Amino acid sequence: MRKGIILATCAYLIWGLFPFYFKAVANVASIEILSHRIVWALPFLLMVLASRSQWSWLLTIFNKPKVLGGFMASALLLSVNWFIYIWAVNNGRIIDSSLGYFINPIVNVLLGFMLLKERLRPAQWLSVGLAAAGVIWLALLNGHIPWISLALALSFGGYGLLRKTAALGALEGLTLETMLLFPFALVFIIVECTQGDCTFASTWATGDTTPWLLMAAGPITAIPLLFFASGARLIPMSTLGLLQYISPSIQLLIGIWFYHEPFSADRLIGFLIIWSALILYSVEGLWRRNKQNRQQKLVVANDA
């Protein structure tokens, strides 16, 4: 279990530090960064698959249209999530993006209720209500809904919902999603370069570090996911649920301390309301799982 916690924590720490990377390539258009992220991720993922000899799924997956359709939908949601996040970071909205990942667990609960007909417990309803109150407060404060935060939470929540019932594991699923997106990303880069609008090509001849940073997007994307996939198998979901707050917490601090994004006392109130919803959601989930574990132990003891 200790190894699982370390692996998952490393994944969330890397994700939390992502703003530094995207700020380093802020001179590149967000759509071009996204395209390079997809293009350079594929060869890295294929090398990982080759090292593990995990090829058998590729022999059958393209004969399953429904599975491919599901992964195309998840790939589109993932690319939308990535694009909004990259754009937000490079336009001084790191705090807004961190909020999106703070409210993501509550959005997951709500999506489960609306789409999977899952029943919500009273504490979960209260968590949803508190999170909604926090979002409404921020909307009233800013004069508009926090669309970046909601778009990130909804796109990643939808992605998680599709992957929840997917036929492939994390590594295979990400590889397939990347393969489906790869032709579009590659064509975009080629067209940009032929039109003279490609930052990758224009900076290559000058000896700038930008091309190397864009190429690094592949392993930077895949490595934390591999850490996460390995760690998730070794620890309970309750532990994983608590660790997931590491990333947005780091991003929030980076936005405030390193890039001096505005974070007024009024805005803090909105975050505090949402954090109280997350605390309630997490504590209630831990209490319920501990109760179930005690009941299971009692059953085993009685049977013995």
Annotate the chain with DSSP letters as a single string.
-HHHHHHHHHHHHHHHTHHHHHHHTTTS-HHHHHHHHHHHHHHHHHHHHHHHT--TTHHHHTT-HHHHHHHHHHHHHHHHHHHHHHHHHHTT-HHHHHHHHHHHHHHHHHHHHHHS-PPPPHHHHHHHHHHHHHHHHHHHHHTS--HHHHHHHHHHHHHHHHHHT-SS-HHHHHHHHHHHHHHHHHHHHHHHHHTT--HHHHHHTTT-SHHHHHHTHHHHHHHHHHHHHHHHTTS-HHHHHHHTTHHHHHHHHIIIIIS-----HHHHHHHHHHHHHHHHHHHHHHHHHHHHHHHHHHHHHHH-
- Both tokens of 8, joined, read 């998952």
Tell whether the model's pLDDT for residue 172 goes beyond 80: yes
Mean pLDDT within 53-73: 85
Query: Residue 42: what pLDDT?
Result: 93
pLDDT digits (tens, 9 = 90+) for 109-159: 888 888 877 788 888 889 889 999 999 999 988 888 899 999 999 998 888
| Structural domain containing residue 299 | 2-303
Least confident of 48-52, 107-111, 164-168: 164-168
CA 92/CA 103 separation, integer angstroms: 20
pTM, rounded to two decimals: 0.89
Q: Please, what is the Cα angle at 215 between 210 and 220, to 5 degrees? A: 110
Tally the domains of the chain. Answer: 1
Under the banding of pLDDT at 50, 70 and 90, the label for residue 167 is confident
Query: Residue 96: what pLDDT?
Result: 94
Q: Does an H or E element contain 82, and which?
A: helix 65-90
Tokens 């999977």 identify what position? Answer: 116
3-state helix, strand, coil in the chain (%, to 5): 80, 0, 20
Question: Based on the number of CB atoms within 10 Å of its own CB, is 298 exposed (0-12), middle (13-18) or buried (19 or more)?
Answer: exposed
| pLDDT, mean over the chain | 86
Distances (CA, A) of 55 to 39, 47, 49, 65: 20, 11, 7, 19
| pLDDT above 70: percentage of residues in the chain | 95
Tell whether the model's pLDDT for residue 239 goes beyond 80: no
